[in-house]
């Protein structure tokens, strides 16, 4: 059964194809995970191949909400070691998901920044980023990745989905720039992603896994489209990504009106057609049989489980037992 097959990315081998998708619990205490959160992740590591921890802001103005985790300060490293040790005790690997919310930031008390002042969200009034802002964001991701490595994470994932900052650069609807990061070309739309991937790779070393969560399609008129995915995914691989985790863009982690298992599989297969690194598909999977079927179809190399693992911490163990 494919669900049980190990898979390697960079130098890291996962014991199976089950990924705990990053799901925000809004349980951080001053940006740090507490013992309750560490136990939450320990429980969901049983039987799971890879655990991706919920998003952590890298800079204060990129905070999505007040109860979000942070990777923006060295003081947090020891608290994360408790969490990573808990996951490792159960035999799973664990990644940190590094994030900047951009125009969707709130609760920080700071002005929001974005590729452009224009957004698709009427409640957002960001400031268009200048060169200094871009340099600060790149460095923020780099410093957060170094902290995550020191805290015992087996790799990091750069968040570019669900309408957050990097996804805002990728979408033509929110990127109205005319400089090197222009929203009018694929090179411009992916430039910040690639700049960050290369800078992070230089900081953490060649053997440390670096992933990207890619909001690959906006499902909106004038937004990012499915036929653009191979070019973007290849650019990310060339810039140093070891894993591409597919999700939605400005539409979020859903497709309106669709709930079938693997509802993003057209996106993940488009990415997989262009890259040699593993691809993750998340969305709508509730049983081990569904997971196995998607793997057998070639929809992705790994399958992310979100809500099902939130509601049942033993989901992975049960899935492995029921697929035969």
Indicate whether this model's pTM tops 0.95. yes
Q: What is the pLDDT of residues 124-177, one digit of tens each?
A: 889 999 999 999 999 999 999 999 999 999 999 999 999 999 999 999 999 999
Calculate the CA 2 to chain-centre distance.
Answer: 23
Q: What is the pLDDT of residues 24-78, one digit of tens each?
A: 999 999 999 999 999 999 999 999 999 999 999 999 999 999 999 999 999 999 9
Q: Other CB atoms closer than 10 Å to residue 91's CB: what's the count?
A: 12
Mean pLDDT of 254-272: 93
Residues whose CB falls within 8 Å of the CB of residue 282, separated by 6 or more in sequence, listed in order = 19, 21, 245, 246, 247, 253, 264, 303, 304, 305, 306
CATH number for the domain spanning 121: value is: 3.20.20.70
Q: What is the pLDDT of residues 98-108, one digit of tens each?
A: 999 999 998 88
pLDDT of residue 122 exceeding 70, the answer is no
Q: Count of domains in the chain?
A: 1
pLDDT category at 307 given cuts 50, 70, 90 is very high
Does the annotation mark 181 as catalytic? no
pLDDT of residue 281 exceeding 90, the answer is yes
pLDDT of residue 109 exceeding 90, the answer is no
CA gap 89, 92 in Å, rounded: 8
The boundaries of the domain holding residue 84 are 2-322
For the chain, give the percent of residues with pLDDT over 90: 93
The β-bridge relationship of strands 155-160 and 93-99 is: parallel
Catalytic residue (choose from 80, 164, 170, 263): 164
DSSP 304: E
CA gap 54, 151 in Å, rounded: 15
Among 278, 324, 321, 323, which residue's Cα sits nearest to residue 303?
278
CA gap 84, 254 in Å, rounded: 29
3-state secondary structure of 70: strand
Where do runs of H (alpha helix) occur along the chain? 35-45, 77-89, 131-150, 165-170, 186-204, 229-239, 265-272, 288-297, 307-311, 315-322
For the chain, give the percent of residues with pLDDT over 70: 100
Q: 241 — alpha (psi -120 to 50), left (phi > 0) or beta?
A: beta
Q: What is the DSSP string of 128-159?
A: EP-HHHHHHHHHHHHHHHHHHHHTT-SEEEEE
Whether the CB-CB separation of 195 and 131 falls below 8 Å is answered with no
Token pair 């969560």: residue: 213
Strand partners, 246: 214, 281
Whether the CB-CB separation of 90 and 105 falls below 8 Å is answered with no
CA gap 189, 195 in Å, rounded: 11
Whether the CB-CB separation of 59 and 73 falls below 8 Å is answered with no
Distances (CA, A) of 268 to 82, 114, 118: 33, 27, 29
CA gap 312, 229 in Å, rounded: 33
- What pLDDT score was predicted for residue 300? 98
């Amino acid at each position: 059964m494919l669900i049980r097959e190990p898979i390697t990315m960079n130098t890291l081998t996962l014991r199976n194809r089950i990924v705990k998708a990053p799901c925000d619990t809004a349980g951080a205490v001053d940006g740090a995970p507490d013992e309750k959160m560490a136990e939450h992740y320990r429980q969901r590591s049983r039987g799971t191949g890879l655990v991706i921890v919920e998003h952590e802001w890298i800079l204060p103005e990129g905070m999505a909400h007040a109860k979000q985790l942070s990777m923006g300060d060295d003081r947090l490293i020891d608290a994360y070691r408790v969490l990573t040790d808990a996951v490792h005790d159960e035999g799973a690997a664990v990644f940190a998901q590094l994030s900047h919310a951009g125009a969707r930031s709130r609760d920080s008390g700071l002005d929001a920044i974005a590729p452009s002042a224009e957004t698709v969200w009427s409640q957002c009034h960001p400031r268009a980023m200048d060169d200094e802002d871009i340099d600060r964001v790149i460095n923020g991701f780099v410093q957060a990745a170094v902290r995550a490595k020191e805290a015992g994470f087996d790799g990091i994932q750069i968040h570019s989905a669900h309408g957050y900052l990097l996804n805002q650069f990728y979408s033509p609807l929110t990127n109205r720039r005319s400089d090197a990061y222009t929203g009018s070309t694929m090179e411009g739309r992916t430039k910040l992603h690639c700049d960050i991937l290369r800078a992070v790779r230089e900081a953490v070393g060649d053997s440390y896994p670096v992933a990207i969560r890619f909001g690959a399609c906006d499902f909106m008129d004038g937004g990012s489209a499915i036929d653009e995915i191979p070019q973007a995914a290849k650019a990310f691989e060339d810039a140093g990504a070891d894993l591409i985790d597919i999700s939605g863009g400005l539409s979020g982690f859903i497709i309106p009106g669709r709930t079938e298992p693997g509802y993003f599989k057209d996106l993940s297969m488009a990415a997989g057609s262009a890259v040699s690194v593993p691809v993750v598909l998340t969305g709508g999977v509730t049983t081990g049989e569904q997971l196995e079927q998607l793997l057998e179809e070639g929809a992705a190399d790994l399958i992310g489980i979100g809500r099902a693992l939130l509601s049942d911490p033993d989901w992975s163990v049960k899935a492995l037992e029921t697929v035969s």
